[in-house]
Structure 1
Amino acid sequence: MDSHSKLETMKLNNCELTEKSCSVLATVLSSKTILKEMNLNNSRLLNSGVKEICEGLKNPVCELKILKLSDCSITEEGYKALASALRSNPSHLIELDLTGNDPGQSGVKQLSDLLQDTNCQLKTIR
């Protein structure tokens, strides 16, 4: 994306995104943009897609504040990748929606541990 882009919100819910499209989204997150919200609800990203997006979240230039990933078929592996990305770059993310996914005990623990991190900016997790 162009650094002069005025796009602040990206809604791609119900889009059946592939791992390759998630890689492109990671590139967007790694670019200097003013993108603040990304809605990928109901997109069956799976863990592989979430891992791609996490590559963008790890980038220090990522200023995303809201990430919506409800009903994206994410399991423990994806939760682990998200927690790791947000730990490596405490970013600006303040809201994370993971409703309707299957974190398992390990995924819940990963997010719980993340919230204990004093650098974590998250205010809302669903």
Structure 2
Amino acid sequence: TKCSLIFIINKQITWTEILVYRISLINCSLTDECCAALASALSSKFLRLTFLNLSANYLGDSGVKLLSSGLENPNCKLEALCLQRCNLTKESCTVLASALSSSSSTLKRLDLSKNELQDSGVKLLSTGLENPHCKLEKLELKRCNLTEESCDVLASALSSNSSNLKELDLSNNELLDLGVKLLYHYTLTAYTLNTHLIYCCVYAFVKISNPVIELSLVYNKPGDSGVKELSNLLYDGQCKLEQLE
């Protein structure tokens, strides 16, 4: 039923402008067949879609591959794409990296949370993040089975002069303190990280020359000593933290 709706829209856009800015099709039992229809719609110069949420659908890597033809089309105006829990693997990261590298890419937010991307997937995705054409400002990779290896790769991408990334969510991954330490040289507006001890986090994000203003340490084990160290640094004149979880 949902696919039929998209195909109807496709037929209509040949003669009228569709003023649709946001579409959410969360948990609608969609498959890769729907992605082909959506790609066609995104490629139309008559559609002004800027936000698309396909989370909790069994799209798979084949679905993302079909969708990418629309993402790379010059007529595509999409700025936010949410693909949480869509049964994606590292293969999707290759396709998305290509889309982010497109000279016509307009994507500013990408949510790939709750997919089994692993470190190898992030490594593939980073080729797009480092591309000068990439306009991504917010990347969400919650619960993607990542380790400190992903932090090393992301640190390299963030060091690129062309990087526009301002927000990075890596919560519910086994990054450990080592992973956080790899990231600390690179400043983002907001970090949401999952680490086991607090002292590296504190050093990394409160003491750097251009510190973050939002920091989440939810689901960590800092202990009383870690919290005491954090509180001392909050009094530091260099601390610009505005939001702490």
TM-score scaled to structure 1, two decimals?
0.90
Specify the alignment match of 1:17 in structure 2.
Answer: 88
User: Are 1:79 and 2:151 an aligned pair?
Assistant: yes
Specify the alignment match of 2:209 in structure 1.
Answer: none
User: Are 1:123 and 2:189 an aligned pair?
Assistant: yes
Counterpart Cα distance in 1 of 2:156 and 2:139: 15
Counterpart Cα distance in 2 of 1:123 and 1:105: 20
Counterpart Cα distance in 2 of 1:100 and 1:43: 12
Instruction: Point out the more displaced range, 83-92 or 99-108.
Output: 83-92
How far 1:3 moved relative to its partner? Answer: 2.2
Counterpart Cα distance in 1 of 2:129 and 2:116: 19
Residue of 52, 58, 64 corresponding to 2:136: 64
Q: Which amino acid aligns with 2:107?
A: L
Counterpart Cα distance in 2 of 1:89 and 1:73: 28
Q: Which amino acid aligns with 2:115?
A: S
Specify the alignment match of 1:50 in structure 2.
Answer: 122
Asked if structure 1 preserves the Cα contact closer than 8 Å seen for 2:157 and 2:163, the reply is no
Counterpart Cα distance in 2 of 1:89 and 1:5: 25
Q: CA RMSD in A?
A: 1.1
Q: Which runs of 5+ in 1 are unaligned?
A: 116-121
How far 1:90 moved relative to its partner? Answer: 4.7
User: 3-state DSSP class of the match of 1:4?
Assistant: coil
Specify the alignment match of 2:239 in structure 1.
Answer: none
Counterpart Cα distance in 2 of 1:8 and 1:124: 19
Deviation beyond 3 Å, 4+ runs, structure 1: none
Asked if structure 2 preserves the Cα contact closer than 8 Å seen for 1:23 and 1:53, the reply is yes
Q: Which amino acid aligns with 2:132?
A: P
User: 3-state DSSP class of the match of 2:116?
Assistant: coil
Q: Which amino acid aligns with 1:111?
A: L
Residue of 80, 96, 101 corresponding to 2:168: 96
Percent identical: 45
Specify the alignment match of 1:119 in structure 2.
Answer: none
Please identify the structure whose Cα radius of gyration is greater: 2
Deviations 1:49-91 (CA, angstroms, capped at 9, x unpaired):
1111111001011000110001111101111101111112451
> Paired residues, what number?
120
How far 1:20 moved relative to its partner? Answer: 1.5
User: Are 1:8 and 2:79 an aligned pair?
Assistant: yes
User: Are 1:27 and 2:98 an aligned pair?
Assistant: yes
How far 1:25 moved relative to its partner? Answer: 0.5
